[in-house]
Copies of this chain bind each other. A is one copy, B any other.
């Protein structure tokens, strides 16, 4: 049966942008599972699946529904063990938690504030009100104030990618010769930025940019199927 992936969108339903939904989409594709993206807006999340969830991604697989990209990856790994592994063993599963936290602090810590205005602009009016209120509460200041200065911080952000950049001189993917969920954790975040904003996060000659292009090529170009923001 086709798995449903509730996938965050703004006004344009063909452009899912949530980093966490992208992680789940890449994970489903990695497993070779049939899935369809169900577009859902911020203010619609509470209405899906009888109101059980407050965040996406959520997947519905037959009788079961799961929330949270890492939980979804764990579920897929356990439920479909005969398909390509997302972790390649228990060590990969545990270490992926470190990658997740690195990505959350290092990548989302810079990219999140930097994209606020472009995310806001991409939303429907009702979602814009929710987004502004919730994010201004989270950051303790206006969207405009929080988003300011991304150009000045860009060099520092690029420098903070050094672990990934250095690793890529040893291997093609975080997963080694091929991608694992750890790659999707990081690529999902770059895809979020790619779909939302033309801001040049990565220098074109950065090995991290080449790695992300490889990720966009995976699974018949799943990531590339949504054009980059112009």
Chain A interface (Cβ < 8 Å from any Cβ of B)? 85, 87-102, 104-106, 162-164, 166-167, 170-171, 173-176, 180, 182
Residue ID in chain B nearest A162 by CB atoms: B105
Contact B105 A95 (CB under 8 A): no
Q: Report copies per complex.
A: 2
Residues of chain B lying within 8 A (CB to CB) of residue A182: 91, 95, 98
- Across the A-B interface, the 10 shortest Cβ-Cβ residue pairs: A89-B89, A91-B92, A88-B91, A94-B176, A95-B95, A102-B163, A101-B163, A101-B166, A88-B90, A105-B162
Residues of chain B lying within 8 A (CB to CB) of residue A105: 162-163, 166
Known A106-B163, A163-B106: A91·B95 in contact at CB below 8 Å: yes
Contact A167 B101 (CB under 8 A): yes
Residue ID in chain B nearest A176 by CB atoms: B94
What are 14 A-B residue pairs whose CB atoms fall within 8 Å in the complex?
Answer: A87-B89, A87-B91, A88-B89, A90-B176, A92-B94, A92-B95, A94-B180, A95-B95, A95-B174, A97-B171, A98-B99, A104-B166, A105-B163, A106-B163
